[in-house]
Amino acid sequence: MRNAVIVFFMIIILIFSGATIQTAENRTMRKNELESSLGAAMKQSMKILKIHSTYDPGTSPEADELAADFIQGFLMKITSNSDFTIEILGMDVEKGLLDVRVTEKYKQIIGYGKISCRKTVILENVETREEKFYLVSFWIPKEEKPGGEVLSDEYIIKKVNVRSGDILDATLLPKNSILREGYTFCGWKLVKPVSGLGGLYGEENISSFRVEEDMEFQAVYQ
């Protein structure tokens, strides 16, 4: 009887020890994922902010665009099955400031666990950096292929060096060599850097970009 009691308590101790170790490892794994995903999402949002200057903190609904882009990017990077509370503690589109705290609540062997992470990202001040110039290129189909065939074999028709931080101006757009027989020119598509913004750009909206790296635009026809 005594041996049975000892074995019983040893099993209980082993179970609790295993549960404690698993809980600690699970917490560490979730903490690492939360920190890395939060940092990556904030950097991605700041990158979009640098090249796309249409965010306006003083108007609605544009006032929430940066926050919405960040939240969407964060949730896409997270794989844990948890409940998240996202608090935007500070956001200044003009100054490039984003201060966020995320709290994660998840099920564990005994009850629920909770972890949180706070990060702040501030865009580097352009005025304090060494002046740089970046190459903005415009690509266009090389051959005319009327009759519904796919346009291929592209080449650059214009390259422009633009100072870092400057807004793209409509005067930089190519004026010649954009017409193709059998096709209608629709606009310019940003292909580098890949930002996921989508849409076409022309004289009316090309100024929505701020140059912070080499950029390439591809002519789109239909």
Q: Sorting pLDDT into bands at 50, 70 and 90, what band is 196?
A: low
Asked if 220 contacts 200 with a C-beta cutoff of 8 angstroms, the reply is yes
Asked if 172 contacts 134 with a C-beta cutoff of 8 angstroms, the reply is no
Half-sphere exposure of residue 75: CA atoms within 13 angstroms, side-chain side:
11
pTM listed for this prediction: 0.48
Helix axes 65-77, 2-51, angle to 10 degrees: 140
Q: Rounded CA gap, 118 and 120, in Å?
A: 7
- Best-predicted range by mean pLDDT (36-40, 120-124, 149-153, 155-159): 36-40
Tens-digit pLDDT profile for residues 54-111: 555 444 444 477 788 888 888 888 887 888 999 988 887 777 788 899 999 988 877 8
- Residue in the structure block whose two tokens are 């990077």: 77
Among 46, 103, 110, 92, CA closest to 73: 46
Asked if 43 contacts 123 with a C-beta cutoff of 8 angstroms, the reply is no
Q: Rounded CA gap, 202 and 158, in Å?
A: 15
Q: Rounded CA gap, 173 and 122, in Å?
A: 31
User: Which residues share a beta bridge with 115?
Assistant: 104
Q: Sorting pLDDT into bands at 50, 70 and 90, what band is 15?
A: low
Q: Taking 70 as the threshold, does the pLDDT of residue 17 lie above it?
A: no
